[in-house]
């Protein structure tokens, strides 16, 4: 693939970052780690559409019917919901960040991280005149997409209030991550037991989750509140566990449309609900409020590890509690 090199090539040990043409001629950035993992992010929406491990296995779900044509959002991967989650406000569902063209930020302010990733790209979104009419605030939204040394995918969002008029603003947010799973009926989610949640299928009424791991046999659309920093998604058939680690994102959305909703979505295959699950690091119940000059940071780290077994059962405690 030919394209623009974003970082000087300094040998295989540094990985590579290239800008190439993706579907329908849309620009995308391809990150490759020297150990074999990779990620792809479209400038349209700053949308991660691929994350592969060092065996080349795709870890994210993107619908075969996804429409890569602005102004349609891309179905799957990791859409960014900003400055509004879902219909919780006056804007179009999930806000506008996922349907705007972002720019590569070649000179971002320093970002303190606790990983040694050298394979990353920095993107930036600033308000357009169109956005200012519906959300009249000045801001800078910086996103770093990085591959970690063990093949983990790292997304760091920084949103700064640059209003010159002294006005604060608030927003809700989610990394709307679509994980690829072998069979939704064989998947368990650990880490959300006994927590309160808002059920989007019950007019956002508040309930308390029972004490067992989450399993799936029908449509689910829940916003879990005050969630732990670590959540595990266990795929029994693939013997693989996704670990979601998050900072600055107190909530977690769990979504699967199941069969009826799947059939009603033009950009989603009728049977594809079986092969995906959204578990989303989010800030929804309490909107993030920023005064001029203040910055919010929300970080997501995704990793995929072989599942442990204990007396014939998957043992997520080793993953969740670092045993």
Q: Where in the sequence numbering do the catalytic residues fall? A: 176, 280
Neighbours of 4 (CB within 10 A): 11
Instruction: Find the DSSP H helices in the chain.
Output: 129-134, 258-264, 317-320
Tell me the helix, strand and coil percentages in the chain, rounded to 5.
Answer: 10, 45, 45
Q: Are strands 251-256 and 220-224 parallel, antiparallel or unpaired?
A: antiparallel
Q: Rounded distance, CA 122 to CA 166, Å? A: 28
Q: Rounded distance, CA 197 to CA 220, Å? A: 12
Backbone angles phi, psi at 262, to 5 degrees: -60, -45
Q: Rounded distance, CA 94 to CA 286, Å? A: 16
Q: Which tokens is 224 given?
A: 């879990």
DSSP 111-171: ---SS---EEEEEEE---HHHHHHS---EEEEEEEEE-TTS-EEEEEEEEE--SS---EEE
Q: Rounded distance, CA 85 to CA 64, Å? A: 24
**Residue appearing with tokens 């972002």:** 102
């Amino acid at each position: 693939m030919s394209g623009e090199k974003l970082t000087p090539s300094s040998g295989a040990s540094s990985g590579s970052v290239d800008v190439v043409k993706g579907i329908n001629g849309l620009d995308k950035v391809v990150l490759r780690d020297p150990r074999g993992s990779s990620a792809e992010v479209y400038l349209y929406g700053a949308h991660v559409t691929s994350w592969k491990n060092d065996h080349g296995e795709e870890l994210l779900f993107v619908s075969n019917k996804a429409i890569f044509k602005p102004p349609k959002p891309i179905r799957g991967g990791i859409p960014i919901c900003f400055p509004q989650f879902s219909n919780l406000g006056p804007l179009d569902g999930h806000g506008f960040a996922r349907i705007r063209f972002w720019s590569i930020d070649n000179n971002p302010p320093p970002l303190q991280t606790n990983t040694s990733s050298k394979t990353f790209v920095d993107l930036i979104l600033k308000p357009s005149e169109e956005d200012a009419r519906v959300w009249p605030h000045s801001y800078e939204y910086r996103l770093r997409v990085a591959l970690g040394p063990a093949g983990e995918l790292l997304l760091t969002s920084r949103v700064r209030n640059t209003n010159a008029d002294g006005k604060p603003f608030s927003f809700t947010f989610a990394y709307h991550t679509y994980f690829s799973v072998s069979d939704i009926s064989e998947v368990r989610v650990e880490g959300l037991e006994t927590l309160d949640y808002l059920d989007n299928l019950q007019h956002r009424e508040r309930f308390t989750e029972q004490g067992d791991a989450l399993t799936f046999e029908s449509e689910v659309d829940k916003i879990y509140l005050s969630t732990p920093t670590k959540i595990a998604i266990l795929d029994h058939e693939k013997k693989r566990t996704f670990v979601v680690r998050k900072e600055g994102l107190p909530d977690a959305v769990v979504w699967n449309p199941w069969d009826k909703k799947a059939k009603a979505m033009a950009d989603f295959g009728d049977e594809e609900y079986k092969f995906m699950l959204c578990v989303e690091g989010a800030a929804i119940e309490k909107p993030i409020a920023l005064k001029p000059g203040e910055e919010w940071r929300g970080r997501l780290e995704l990793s995929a590890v072989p599942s442990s077994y204990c007396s014939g059962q998957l043992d997520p405690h080793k993953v969740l509690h670092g045993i």
